[in-house]
Structures are given as C-alpha cells and as structure tokens.
C-alpha cells in the first residue's frame, strides 16, 4: 500500500478518534467553547514521541498521505482516525498545515495484539498556476 522508496513511520497504540473526544467548557467570560479532552491530548503526545523521521520537517508544500491503521477490532471508523492522524502530524511539526494534503490513501486493518498506525508522506512539487 505505501509505495516503495517512501520513509515509513510506525506509531504504536490504538488511534483515538477525535470525534468522540471533545469537551464543552466555559471560558473566563462564561462563553462555551470546545476543547480536546485529556485522552486525545495524551494520544497526541505519545504519537509525537514515536515519530522520528518526519518530526519537525514542517512540510509546507502539497503532499500525499499514505496510512495503514491497525485497530484492535473493526468497529472503528477510519475517517475519524484520519483527522486525528493529520492533527498529530501538525502537532509534531511533520506538516505545517493539513490544508496542503492533496490526497490520502488509507487502509483499515485488524490486529488485536498490536494496534498501530503506519504512515508515509510524499511531498509533491508545487504547481505553477
């Protein structure tokens, strides 16, 4: 699935879907706002600790993300995991912004003993308009 020649990174642990991990809180002015809960924040920290090659690359050009997600079971939604993965890549400065992502090639797998995410980023040359 991930093309030959691209550097693969593996992040161990089951990816946390962001859709299920937001909390509504009140700010100083009593206004409601949405924040990440501690579970998603901890996943982001663990993700970044495991990323070596892409950490701090700050890719700020068009890119394609290749990702294989291995879950403990197949009850999880792949699309919810993709948002988490893109946000984690931004959090560890692998990418500057997910707005540069032009394509995602994703696969969902089951591995009850070893949930993980394997990914690679293929940078694309900027196009002249």
Mean pLDDT per block of 10 residues along the chain (129 residues) reads 93 85 68 73 94 94 96 90 94 95 96 97 74
Res 31: pLDDT: 75
> Token pair for residue 102?
């032009």
Res 129: pLDDT: 47
The reported pTM is 0.84
What lies within 8 Å, CB to CB, of 22 at 6+ separation is 34, 35, 36, 37, 40
Res 76: pLDDT: 86
Res 45: pLDDT: 94
What lies within 8 Å, CB to CB, of 72 at 6+ separation is 14, 110, 111, 112, 115
Res 13: pLDDT: 95
């Amino acid at each position: 699935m991930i093309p030959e020649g691209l550097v693969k990174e593996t992040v161990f642990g089951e990816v946390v879907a962001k859709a299920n991990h937001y909390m509504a809180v009140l700010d100083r002015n009593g206004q409601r706002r949405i924040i990440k809960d501690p579970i998603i924040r901890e996943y982001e920290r663990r993700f970044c600790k495991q990323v070596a090659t892409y950490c701090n690359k700050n890719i700020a050009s068009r890119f394609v993300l290749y990702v294989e997600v291995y879950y403990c079971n197949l009850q999880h939604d792949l699309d919810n995991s993709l948002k988490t993965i893109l946000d984690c890549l931004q959090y560890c400065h692998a990418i500057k912004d997910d707005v540069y992502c032009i394509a995602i090639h994703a696969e969902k797998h089951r591995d009850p003993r070893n949930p993980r995410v394997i990914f690679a980023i293929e940078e694309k040359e900027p196009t002249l308009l």
